[in-house]
Structure 1
Amino acid sequence: MSVFLKPEVKGLIDEFRSELINIADWWIKYAIDEENGGFYGQVNADGSADVTAEKGIVMNARILWFFSEVCHYLDKPQYQAAAKRAYQYIKTYFNDTEYGGVYWSLHADGSVADSKKQTYAQSFAIYGLSAYYKLTKEQAAIDLAYEYFAQLQKHCHDDIKGGYLEAFDRQWHEITDMRLSDKDDNLPKTQNTHLHVMEAFATLHMVKPTAESALALRRLIDFFDSTIINKDNYHLRLFMDVDWNDHSRAFSYGHDIECSWLLYEALVALNDPLVMSRVKPLAIEVAKTTLAEGIGNQGQVCDEFEFAGEHKHQESCWWVQAEALVGFLYAYQLTGNTDFWSAFENVWAFTKEQHIDQQLGEWYWLAKCDQDANYDTYKAGFWKAPYHNGRAMMEVIKVLSGKLHC
């Protein structure tokens, strides 16, 4: 008997729907910046806003994506208003009308703080705009998404060696520091950027397909199949040079399990049976590897395995558990292997206990068991939006409701 036919699954759907509402309502209540427009650049653990914090495009594009998508699950006018607010703010303040693309960050008042063009960030802008077009059918939104798509293809794609380079200055010239964040290695090609370019192009192609989007998406899938996923161990190669040589110093279990289901979603969007039959087994193998190697002492998915000292980090980040929920559930649906279902249940139990703030709302960045007495990491900020956890709630509802394309 399929797990999805059991009576308790309806209760699970209700549980995830309730948490989806909690997430959306928290962002409506605490994150809207009435003074400067858009959303605050940071909201602290206690719900207080840092009104001086910079506003990052990644956070804002993820907000746009979330509120555009959540409207398909929850019919509340304030969610549609939040999506429109995010769209208008990005179009007005983040959009570089002179050189194209989106700025990396703004000051709290909307003036430009950092004008660099990070490929990762352009991708999230495409992702959010595509979702907004899906919701509203506003032509200007998809036109802007395709403008950013064209900029990526023109400036960021490596036409000689293949793949996408990391970062450029405002005028799309090369820069020496290409890192997405301080914790990353300074290398020109990363799995993280390619993963989210693929995610963006899949969404763009799903809502407004063109021959160009099909070609770009197919090419990205092939990059993962041929190079980015190491078929000797079914982990992602994290950091690579221009020639695709691997310089990784760790495995990232969170990115592995996220890739497993985003790769399958890209295959669904491309809708090519031959590519699906060739690459779908690869997505499943990546999920199997996370299940075999990445589970921590409390049923959580660990952050990473560091090659130096062969150290498996037990710390739990909110986004890793969110992606594990979706990745394991997809893998269960695609294979029928009940070990994936058990892993899904264990991750959800851990997340409810350790990450969801039952009193003040939203999710802790670090699990409670990993926090020290001085823990005060923001709940909304440059790298934390209602994207990983909100998306996980929606994806779980979709799969449990029998709406995954198989």
Structure 2
Amino acid sequence: MKHRGFRYRIVCLLISLAHPVLSQKTPGDRMRIAAEMEKSIRTEMLNKWYPQAVDKEFGGFLSTFTYDFTPTGPQDKMIVTQARHTWTTAKAAERYPTVTYYKDNARHGFLFLRDVMWDKQYGGFYNLVDRKGNVKGGDMKQAYGNAFGLYALSAYYHMSHDTAALNLAKKSFAWLEKHSHDPIHKGYFQHLQRNGTPIKRDDSVPSTSDLGYKDQNSSIHLLEALTELYTVWPDPLVRERLDEMLRLIRDVITTPKGNLTLFFQPDWTPVSFRDSSEAVILKHRNLDHVSFGHDVETAYLMLEASHILGLKNDTKTLQTGKRMVDHALANGWDKTVGGFYDQGYYFKDKPGMSIIRESKNWWSQAEGLNTLLLMADQFPNDSMHYFDQYKLLWQYVLTYMIDHEHGDWYEEGLDKDPKRKTALKGHIWKAAYHTYRALTTCVDRSKSKSAGHSSANH
């Protein structure tokens, strides 16, 4: 099992805490879906991205591809994309050790992170460079992008045992600690000047801008990065920050209903437009809505962090995660063909949830698969019928999300937006990270479950 690494051990830990009466109704479905997922990973995902996304001329990875995987455009390189490619190839190198170029590709990505994306004068990762490595779009840095840099470095070190990667991961954590971490109100400042000074919001900032706010998205991916880092470097301060972020996301950012608040003032006062007119609310929708995809993703990330921290009988995190998934299924789930909608809103003068963007983006469906199967194993007899929803979602993905001709996933489901069939298959916000992580975790969880309770001993 050594090649499956950290993620596989997490799967086994999560399964070991599942309800003792595990459903035996559909073992064939579990393994059939797992086989379909494994085949798709190998023949409709990884083989399309790697090694062709490797930029052999200027380093790092190409980001932008047409619907049929033809490189296109200027190929700017964002820290998030470069880190996600590095993370994915590092994990693939562990999972498929006979495919040697995954390891080579991961090292190629690490070198670009170290030599180009890292600011050698002030520390921290630049947000965006052009294909040749020249800094673009100003020199503002973000905790979100630095979180993914840390995430990739940790995964690459786990795979390669290259101490240069661990050393840079430690430097990255220290930079975030010195500049981005808020010692007073906790959590991390998202927007930073090049020298690391947090950027404060003032009256000159447009009301639609998130500049100067703290947010759930950087917070959940800092949680994810710290989880990966703690696995390879169990430092007491890393543990403290990981525990801090888990509690902050679970107890402050997640609402009693079960959805994440998107943005906050630095003291964690929520940013809300609910008392405004519908026109004003929709104008500021990017700052204030219910994001069903983030909710189901965060349920998994919290449980992952809890287990890495070794929190015994952490029923609070488990129940919070369940509430998040239940809320998403009740309010943002297409009960006919499956799939999580993009955005919802609780208007004060309308009953219940209103769907304000019914497109179904690719990453929400990927994260939904992962978390639904997790919940199916944790609560096999629950009235939400998580495994049935998991099966429906996988059928939706097979039908409307995966491009079986050209490979990878459409950016949005074709049932809601057929034009996406010829839209870009890759860009600086879309690579293989969400889909690879979700499908491999589902496959491993399915195989562990089929092996019976002995999986808890791995």
TM-score range, shorter chain: over 0.9
Which structure would you say has the larger Rg? 2
Determine if contact 1:4/1:400 at 8 Å carries over to the other structure.
no
Deviations 1:248-277 (A, max 9, x none): 421110000001111000001111226x23
Q: Which of 68, 76, 85 is the matching residue for 1:63?
A: 85
Q: CA deviation at 1:50?
A: 2.1
Determine if contact 1:41/1:51 at 8 Å carries over to the other structure.
no
In the alignment, which residue of structure 2 is the partner of 1:291? 329
Partner secondary structure for residue 136 of structure 2: strand
Seen in structure 2, the aligned counterparts of structure 1 residues 3 and 137 have a Cα distance that, compared at 3 Å, is farther
Q: Which of 388, 391, 406 is the matching residue for 1:342?
A: 388
Determine if contact 1:61/1:125 at 8 Å carries over to the other structure.
yes
* Distance in 1 of aligned mates of 2:407 and 2:25: 29
In the alignment, which residue of structure 1 is the partner of 2:370? 326
Q: Which of 83, 87, 93 is the matching residue for 2:106?
A: 83
How many residues are treated as equivalent by the alignment?
Answer: 401
* Distance in 2 of aligned mates of 1:167 and 1:271: 32
One-letter code aligned to 2:40 = E
Which 4+ residue blocks in structure 1 deviate beyond 4 angstroms?
372-376, 403-406
**Structure 1 position 197 matched with structure 2 position 239:** no
Seen in structure 2, the aligned counterparts of structure 1 residues 152 and 131 have a Cα distance that, compared at 3 Å, is same
Seen in structure 2, the aligned counterparts of structure 1 residues 184 and 279 have a Cα distance that, compared at 3 Å, is farther
In the alignment, which residue of structure 2 is the partner of 1:384? 430
Partner secondary structure for residue 369 of structure 1: coil
* Distance in 2 of aligned mates of 1:337 and 1:187: 44
Seen in structure 2, the aligned counterparts of structure 1 residues 377 and 187 have a Cα distance that, compared at 3 Å, is farther
**More deviation, 282-291/8-17:** 8-17
**More deviation, 290-299/371-380:** 371-380
* Distance in 1 of aligned mates of 2:323 and 2:155: 29
**Structure 1 position 101 matched with structure 2 position 124:** yes
Q: CA deviation at 1:73?
A: 2.2
Determine if contact 1:236/1:256 at 8 Å carries over to the other structure.
yes
**More deviation, 380-389/281-290:** 281-290
* Distance in 1 of aligned mates of 2:293 and 2:255: 16
Determine if contact 2:199/2:212 at 8 Å carries over to the other structure.
no
Q: CA deviation at 1:405?
A: 6.6
One-letter code aligned to 2:306 = L
One-letter code aligned to 1:131 = A
In the alignment, which residue of structure 2 is the partner of 1:173? 197
Seen in structure 2, the aligned counterparts of structure 1 residues 260 and 3 have a Cα distance that, compared at 3 Å, is farther
Deviations 1:178-206 (A, max 9, x none): 9xxx9864451111110000000011112
In the alignment, which residue of structure 1 is the partner of 2:290? 251
Q: What is the root-mean-square deviation in Å for CA atoms of aligned residues?
A: 2.3
Percent identical pairs in the alignment equals 26
Partner secondary structure for residue 235 of structure 1: coil
Q: CA deviation at 1:372?
A: 5.1
Partner secondary structure for residue 385 of structure 1: coil
* Distance in 2 of aligned mates of 1:113 and 1:314: 33
Partner secondary structure for residue 390 of structure 1: helix
In the alignment, which residue of structure 2 is the partner of 1:207? 232
Determine if contact 2:338/2:392 at 8 Å carries over to the other structure.
yes
**Structure 1 position 311 matched with structure 2 position 354:** yes
Determine if contact 1:356/1:364 at 8 Å carries over to the other structure.
yes
Q: Which of 7, 10, 17 is the matching residue for 2:38?
A: 17
Determine if contact 1:30/1:49 at 8 Å carries over to the other structure.
no
One-letter code aligned to 1:111 = N
Deviations 1:136-171 (A, max 9, x none): 111111111111111111111111112111111211
Q: CA deviation at 1:51?
A: 5.0
In the alignment, which residue of structure 1 is the partner of 2:60? 38
**Higher normalized contact order (CA 8 Å, seq sep 6+, divided by chain length):** 2
List runs of 5+ in structure 2 lacking aligned partners. 1-21, 273-287, 450-454
